[in-house]
Amino acid sequence: MDRFVANFTLRLDAKGRVSIPASYRSVLARDGFDGLYCYPALALPAIDAGGNALMAEIATLIGRYPPFSQERERLALALYGTSETLRLDGEGRVVLSENLKRHAGIAGEVAFVGLGHKFQIWEPSRFKRELAEATQMVRALKAGLGSAAAQEAPGARE
């Protein structure tokens, strides 16, 4: 598997370390990175995290704008300027900085949430609320898709 999938809730230890889920470490290892890039999510109280694939995606996004343009500079500031490189210890643990924990509201437990090319790190109760909202939105989208398909079916407009 070369994607971050599933979600896991783990505890910070007494030294403030948390284990990166084994399946996530495997994706990072296949990606050729022995650490973790993290930055405060732009629109959510979470931490975006990943490896070289995530950094390549950010570089592609930023590269769509002309050099020295305001948009390019702002994206670079918001994404690269707030990124941190965390090193995994021998047991696959990292220490989240105080800045990252404060942004996500993390204290004792951490929820890891796979998003395919990256994963997010959440305070578990915040993640549960966000997941409930996302599930509700997806159900509404699905219902809308079903209605649109029924309207397009042969004989539906007769």
Residue 149 lies in a domain: no
Residue 97 lies in a domain: yes
Residue 57 lies in a domain: yes
Which pLDDT score, from 0 to 100, does residue 149 have? 64
Residue 144 lies in a domain: no
Q: What is the CATH number of the domain that holds 42?
A: 3.40.1550.20
Structural domain count, the chain? 1
Which pLDDT score, from 0 to 100, does residue 21 have? 97
Under 8 Å CB-to-CB from 13, ≥6 apart: which residues?
Answer: 93
User: What count of Cα atoms within 13 Å lies in the side-chain half-sphere of residue 149?
Assistant: 6
Which pLDDT score, from 0 to 100, does residue 141 have? 92
Residue 142 lies in a domain: no
Distance CA 20, CA 6 (A): 13
Q: Which residues of 86-123 are buried (b: 16+ CB within 10 A; e: fewer)?
A: bebeeeebbbbeeebbebbebeeebbbbbeebbbbbbb
Query: Whole-prediction pTM value?
Result: 0.88
Which pLDDT score, from 0 to 100, does residue 156 have? 56
Q: Tens digit of pLDDT for each residue in 113-135?
A: 999 999 999 999 999 999 999 99
Which pLDDT score, from 0 to 100, does residue 33 have? 87
Residue 53 lies in a domain: yes
Residue 32 lies in a domain: yes
pLDDT truncated to tens, each residue of the chain (158 aa)?
Answer: 689 999 999 999 999 999 999 999 999 999 988 899 999 999 999 999 999 999 999 999 999 999 999 999 999 999 999 999 999 999 999 999 999 999 999 999 999 999 999 999 999 999 999 999 999 999 999 998 877 666 776 665 55
Range of the domain at 70: 7-124
Residue 138 lies in a domain: no
Which pLDDT score, from 0 to 100, does residue 153 have? 64
